């Protein structure tokens, strides 16, 4: 299985009469896009804006962020949603690098966050550095929360798919081509040449209503841990549908650009033999946690893993899943490295995770989400800043009279992302 990613670097986005890409400029037919996404009887109103790095703009509450792409061959984008149910992970995919679709509107689950395009908040979110096509969607009165989430999820994926199609007939050359190969498992494991056989255990948030992640359109809470090609992950097989805290929510963009997978590919054949990805869910009940972690460890043992990277999504309850995965992998001789963030209190002195084990002796921290930051008032808010007091990371009095906001990093999209798609870590003194 081989996936070829062809990148076109987008330097500017504007509205025009047609969708096209030329000289690094993405032109979007505004009315055409709105017409494409408004065909849903549950939508009350829509708005569409373009926001650029450095703009005096705050976007909140953010539901999802998606990178526009186009499948040239090997399936369709976002299978199970905008594409058919066939698999992805092979063929050619064209990427509009530097552009992102952002969805916002009234809050769905009080765990949606903030993107500041300038000021101190911009330093903590990667989406202050993308050109964002922001869709503000308000649903009709009486629409229940889980339906509200579905409307925004489908709208964002549809918009990203529509915009991405401009890459099919782009009027400029592809600027970067990367090829990623994933060999059949038996062949991959036999080609290690003495290098350690390494896998990636990818924990997906799936802890009930409004805490969902989708794999080929299937809610991850309905799956048992399973093997998946890393190229499938890179190619839109996994889609965000959850409302976990903004700081460590894996947006669809993060799944499309998972830096752990990228780094494992960089080291493959040189420092290690990267043989595959085990996706596993995060569960509510103890019995479900035990079942999923046991299946994960058994899969790792069956394919002969000698080491594994395990990444978490969320915090608190999922910490138990993280530690169970770690302990059971280590018991089977699989050396384990954990990637997580910390909720160690505003002074950093509290216990970082809700669970721990002696086996968890190799941990990468992506930062303390309880750290407080002051966000100055910006010239314009897209969405609604009135939720500042109630979103995760906010508190009574977070929103000041002058429009400034005092919140924990927890409220900023991607601030402590547990895939490492940020610039924070911990330092030992």
pLDDT in tens, 325-368: 999 999 999 999 999 999 988 888 888 888 899 999 999 999 99
pLDDT category of residue 109 using cuts at 50, 70 and 90: confident
Residues 339 and 378 sit within 8 Å (Cβ to Cβ): no
The phi-psi region of residue 405 (left if phi > 0; otherwise alpha if psi is between -120 and 50; otherwise beta) is beta
Q: Which two tokens mark 123?
A: 């330093």
| pLDDT at 147 (0 to 100) | 92
Edge-first strand order for the sheet with 211-215 is: 218-219, 211-215, 238-242
What's phi and psi for 160, nearest 5 deg? -65, -40
Catalytic residue annotation: 243
CA atoms within 13 A on the CB side of 363: 22
CA distances from 228 to 4, 178, 225 (A): 17, 20, 10
Give the residue extent of every domain in the chain.
2-411
* Residues 129-174: tens digit of each pLDDT: 999 999 999 999 999 999 999 999 999 999 999 999 999 988 888 9
CA distances from 174 to 5, 171, 300 (A): 10, 9, 38
| pLDDT at 429 (0 to 100) | 67
The pLDDT of residue 84 is above 80:
no
Burial 133-168 (b: 16+ CB within 10 A, else e): bbbbbbbeeebeeeebbbbbbbbbbbbbbbbbbbbe
The pLDDT of residue 227 is above 80:
yes
The pLDDT of residue 190 is above 80:
no
| pLDDT at 107 (0 to 100) | 87
SS3 389: helix
Q: Which two tokens mark 258?
A: 């998972």
Strands 131-139 and 99-104: parallel
Using alpha carbons only, give the angle 425, 130, 236 rounded to the nearest 5 degrees: 85
Cα–Cα dist 375/402, whole Å: 11
> What's the Rg (C-alpha) of the chain?
21
Strands 91-97 and 2-9: parallel
* Residues 85-104: tens digit of each pLDDT: 789 999 999 999 999 999 99
* Residues 29-62: tens digit of each pLDDT: 999 999 999 888 999 999 999 999 999 999 999 9
The pLDDT of residue 426 is above 80:
no
Cα–Cα dist 39/343, whole Å: 41
* Residues 311-325: tens digit of each pLDDT: 999 999 999 999 999
> Residue 417 CA to chain centroid, in angstroms?
8
Residues 205 and 248 sit within 8 Å (Cβ to Cβ): no
């Amino acid at each position: 299985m081989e996936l070829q990613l062809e990148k076109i670097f987008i330097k500017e986005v504007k509205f025009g009469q047609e969708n096209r890409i030329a000289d690094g400029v993405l032109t979007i037919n505004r009315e055409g896009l709105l017409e494409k996404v408004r065909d849903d009887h549950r939508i009350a109103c829509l708005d569409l804006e373009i926001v650029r790095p450095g703009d005096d703009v705050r976007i909140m509450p953010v539901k999802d962020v998606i990178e526009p792409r186009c499948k040239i061959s090997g399936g369709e984008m976002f299978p199970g949603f905008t594409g058919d149910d066939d698999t992805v992970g092979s063929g050619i995919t064209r990427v509009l690098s530097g552009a992102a679709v952002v969805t916002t509107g009234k809050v769905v689950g009080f765990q949606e966050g903030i993107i500041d395009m300038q000021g101190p908040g911009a330093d903590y979110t990667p989406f202050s550095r993308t050109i964002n096509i922001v869709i503000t969607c308000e649903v009709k009165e009486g629409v229940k929360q889980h339906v509200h989430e579905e409307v925004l999820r489908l709208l964002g994926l549809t918009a990203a798919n529509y915009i991405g199609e401009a890459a099919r007939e782009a009027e400029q050359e592809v600027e970067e081509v990367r090829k990623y190969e994933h060999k059949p498992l038996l062949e991959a494991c036999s080609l290690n040449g003495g290098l350690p056989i390494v896998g990636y255990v990818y924990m997906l948030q799936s802890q009930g209503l409004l805490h969902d992640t989708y794999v080929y359109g299937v809610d991850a809470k309905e799956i048992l841990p399973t093997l998946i090609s890393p190229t499938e992950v890179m190619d839109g097989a996994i889609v965000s549908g959850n409302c976990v805290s903004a700081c460590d929510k894996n947006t669809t963009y993060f799944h499309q650009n998972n830096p752990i997978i990228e780094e494992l590919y960089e080291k493959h054949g040189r420092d290690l033999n990267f043989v595959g990805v085990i996706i596993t869910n995060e569960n509510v009940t103890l019995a479900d946690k035990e079942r999923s972690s046991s299946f994960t460890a058994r899969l790792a043992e069956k394919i002969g893993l000698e080491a594994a990277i395990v990444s978490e999504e969320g915090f608190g309850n999922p910490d138990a899943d993280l530690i169970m995965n770690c302990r059971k992998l280590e018991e089977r001789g699989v050396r384990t490295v954990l990637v997580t963030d910390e909720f160690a209190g505003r002074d950093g002195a509290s216990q970082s995770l809700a669970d721990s084990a002696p086996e968890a002796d190799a941990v990468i921290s992506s930062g303390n989400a309880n750290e407080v930051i002051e966000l100055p008032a910006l010239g314009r808010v897209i969405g609604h800043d009135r939720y500042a007091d109630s979103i995760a990371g906010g508190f009574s009095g977070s929103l000041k009279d002058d429009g400034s906001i005092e919140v924990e990093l927890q409220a900023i999209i991607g601030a402590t992302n547990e895939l490492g798609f940020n610039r924070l870590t911990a330092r030992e003194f």
